[in-house]
């Protein structure tokens, strides 16, 4: 059996708190993804500096994120690994089963929604969508964050065959608890989308050469958070009756990534069965 380890980059977080496993209260529907480009969205990011509220105050920079296949090595006790594997498999059975796999807010595909509008700058369009994806994903993660404790999820993974590793400040690959990895990833993305040099907010300022490279990294990190939530917390999404919002949001995200060829299909391996199901349903147009 082969395992895939993926590494991400950044500094290690010292913050590592256990949180009570209380039942989360459903958020107001207008705070969660409901439709592409809501009335609060603006087509242009110019003259507007975005600062979405973060659930954590930690702040660490990150660098390039590159997938790498390796044999899984972990200090996690075997019993915990088996338990996590069983939980992930039960979640996968759930999100791939009826009626959940067909539940969505939007009928048809997102193809026309993600296409570049006429007379709109490509960089502006990509920047707008990346910012909105991050804002919505950050809100969704806030719904399940209290369950993502280091004890329950000692590694950041998307099922029993995919572990995500973090490359620390000393260029060492380290296995982090899911909560710590996600906190680092979201903080890094937040810093990126609020960097006026990367996401310029003034008219006339061009997007930098590294813009497309950083967008690819941002989208990959967001996909990994999607994958972790699907494999470990989909039951909580269902409990809060948010599966239609979540599936539609993910379909929109993948449709956008495919339209602009941002995420390699190999990176999508942990959720390929779900993506292929959405493709067969016509939610995602196969390129």
Please provide the DSSP assignment of 80-133 as one string.
Answer: HHHHHHHHHHHHHHHHTSTTGGG--SS-S-SHHHHSPPTT--HHHHHHHHHHHH
E strand map for 161-265: 162-167, 173-174
Instruction: Specify if 190 maps to a domain.
Output: yes
Segments of the chain with pLDDT less than 70: 1-87, 287
Q: Sign (positive/negative) of CA torsion 240, 84, 7, 147?
A: positive
Instruction: Specify if 208 maps to a domain.
Output: yes
Total of domains in the chain? 1
Cβ neighbours around 22 below 10 Å, total? 8
Instruction: Specify if 21 maps to a domain.
Output: no
The span from the CA of 236 to the CA of 257, in Å, is 26
pLDDT of residue 40: 36
Instruction: Specify if 61 maps to a domain.
Output: no
Instruction: Specify if 131 maps to a domain.
Output: yes
Q: What tokens does 256 get? A: 């956008």
Instruction: Specify if 37 maps to a domain.
Output: no
Instruction: Specify if 11 maps to a domain.
Output: no
Residues spanned by the domain of 104? 77-281
Instruction: Specify if 1 maps to a domain.
Output: no
User: Does residue 233 have a known ligand-binding role?
Assistant: yes
pLDDT of residue 83: 60
């Amino acid at each position: 059996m082969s395992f895939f380890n993926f590494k991400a980059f950044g500094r290690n977080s010292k913050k590592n708190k256990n949180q009570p496993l209380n039942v989360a209260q459903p958020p107001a529907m207008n705070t969660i993804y409901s439709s592409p480009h809501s009335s609060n969205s603006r087509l242009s990011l110019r003259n507007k500096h975005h600062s979405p509220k973060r659930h954590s105050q930690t702040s660490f920079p990150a660098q390039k994120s590159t997938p790498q296949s390796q044999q899984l090595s972990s200090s996690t006790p075997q019993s915990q690994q088996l338990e996590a594997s069983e939980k992930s498999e039960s979640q996968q059975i759930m999100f791939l089963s009826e009626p959940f796999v067909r539940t969505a807010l939007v009928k048809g595909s997102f193809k026309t929604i993600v296409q570049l509008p006429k007379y709109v700058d490509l960089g502006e369009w990509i920047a707008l969508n990346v910012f909105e994806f991050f804002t919505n994903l950050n809100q969704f993660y806030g719904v399940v964050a209290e369950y993502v404790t280091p004890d329950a999820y000692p590694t950041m993974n998307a099922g029993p065959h995919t572990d995500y590793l973090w490359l620390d400040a000393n260029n060492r690959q380290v296995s982090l608890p899911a909560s710590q990895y996600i906190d680092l990833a979201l903080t890094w993305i937040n810093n990126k989308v609020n960097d006026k040099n990367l996401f310029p907010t003034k008219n006339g300022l061009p997007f930098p050469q590294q813009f497309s490279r950083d967008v690819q990294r941002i989208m990959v990190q967001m996909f990994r958070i999607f994958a972790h939530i699907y494999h470990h917390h989909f039951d909580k999404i269902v409990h809060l009756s948010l599966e239609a919002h979540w599936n539609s949001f993910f379909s929109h995200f993948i449709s956008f990534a495919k339209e602009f060829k941002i995420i390699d299909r190999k990176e999508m391996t942990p959720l390929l069965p779900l993506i292929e199901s959405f493709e067969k349903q016509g939610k995602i147009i196969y390129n």
